[in-house]
Structure 1
């Protein structure tokens, strides 16, 4: 995992903080440590599917969640599979603007976790 202080714009920080501030966003990120569909996330954290899709879109736009591909659902439909892009985020409010530090997930960690899950 790499840890980095965000060098992004104030808009990036605002998008991240806004996405994290919405109800269920943190729960979705916690549940998305392994690849999951919106339906699986909705069921895991017991939220309406429409709400889950809205939060997923916000988290993807903020760069906190990524679509890892598509797979067939039990009903035979192609569905997107999501996984979080980081394991930790710290917010420092001691400056004029919030400063974010993130521990990004590495592809090696994702592959190892996938192998342990199978």
Structure 2
């Protein structure tokens, strides 16, 4: 189901565009179709862990990524795991102001993906 953003959501749309405009953000979103820790995302995408944490924070603030809980790392530490909240984001520049839409991930899709990956 798509949800269009309106003018009152301008700060949200700016946060989304800013987050998506940063290097590695799209790669993190693609890799986070299933729950993953920052350490796993950093390894999968081959980016520095500090950069990965910065991008994760921006994506969470923009509502594109969510913390799904915590799990034990290989070192035995509790670590956050993240999953993207959207499958698609669209921007339309044909009007005076850009309009935005997004296709949110459903919980059913998350469960199916988890079963396929698990």
Given the two structures, how large is their TM-score scaled by the length of structure 1?
A: 0.96
Aligned residue for 2:34, secondary structure, equals coil
Aligned residue for 1:9, secondary structure, equals helix
Equivalence for 1:91:
91
| 1:79 counterpart = 2:79 | yes
Question: What whole-Å deviation, never above 9, does each CA across 1:5-60 have from its counterpart, x for those lacking one?
Answer: 12351111100000000000000000000100000000000000000000000000
Aligned pairs (5 A) from 1:1-118: 2-7=1-6, 9-118=9-118
> Please, which runs of 5 or more residues in structure 2 have no aligned partner?
none
Aligned residue for 1:47, secondary structure, equals coil
Aligned residue for 2:57, secondary structure, equals helix
Deviation at 1:94, TM superposition (A): 1.2
Deviation at 1:96, TM superposition (A): 2.1
Give the Cα–Cα distance (whole angstroms) in 2 for the partners of residues 97 and 82 of structure 1.
32
RMSD of the TM alignment (CA)?
0.9
Is contact 1:37-1:82 (8 Å) kept?
Answer: yes
Alignment length, in residue pairs? Answer: 117
Moved over 6 A (4+): none
Given the two structures, how large is their TM-score scaled by the length of structure 2?
A: 0.96
